[in-house]
Structure 1
């Protein structure tokens, strides 16, 4: 998808122009084609961006604010380019390393798609050890009271991002999908065999399908959980068909 050449569409993003030539678009899954059709209709009507409403109970640590992403962001992942889209940026600005802390087991599991060594995040591990020491002093239960430091399970088998690529956002999305539910025991975590630890084209396409479906159903849809009732999409009468798009097109 990244090597196509065509006079039908510009190579770089231009507002209102198709993301891909028609023949390539026809090869994509239906949810992606439907998202592209929504974008073309929205750009014809003059919609500038999509805003996302974050509910007040989404995070515990402070007030939540709406955020926006542009059609240029959509263009990026349709071409499998760097996913700078704010939907991913809220979870991870660039590379992610996930630390799963199990205080009673005195264990930290490190999920790192770039496979760095411990030295790369040693300062953070020191902070976790200090926090766990305070947890024990306050009466927190541990299975082995004689152990002084947390046991680090590094290089846990997970999807590993190939070097010299800029697809970290896709790896974040897949990590959240695979390990989205809280696990009380680190032994319950799914492990990815190293032989299949990098995304193939089908996996990347499936991630884009899920994200397109989420944007349409939950953000742009007037009944969606993350629909912003104060946005341009919601308040301008000319966008009525866009916000009620799912009534006629919800077949995926």
Structure 2
């Protein structure tokens, strides 16, 4: 097993650092003692045997008053005020201009997809005459055949609001999700309302054979007949009135 390198140890470089600090302190002490001897006009230790008369004596340093005064003036002179830095005005905070951006985007999209607000009122919780879970709904599409079924779930998510219809095609249970605000959805009609208000928000128990309602073709067919009869009855009445008026004119 290889021994670790000394430089990799934690305290490997401690001794050299201590030695270096000791030498630095000794040099500082020697320099300070020499400078003190020079300024005090004392001979160095090596020149102790010589007389002081033979050594050149330097005069004490005289302060330069002119330089001192200029330095003091420069320090005490007031500085010129700096020019203000031009900074652009901060932009208005988004929390003040638009505190709830998601709600604003949702409202703009709903105004674009549903300008009349009919579908919003149809699936609103506050609307007592709106569509509820358990009602039979008929969805008409622009591209495709209409589909009718029992509404077993209403997912209210703003623009992403959708309904889940359960019906039968060729005696097979089918469930279809439809986006309420999709441009492909031409219209949504309430064919038959449930007799009792559902006690659950999602009627997934209708997937079981015991509670499955089955096909709703007969209900839709009856609804279409009554709708056509109401429209045809008004037309017959108008025709009959016009015929009577015509007979009266002939008379």
Structure with more of its chain in strand, by fraction: 2
Asked which structure has the greater RCO (Cα within 8 Å, sep 6+), the reply is: 1
Q: TM-score, normalised by structure 1?
A: 0.22
Provide the TM-score with structure 2 as the length reference.
Answer: 0.22
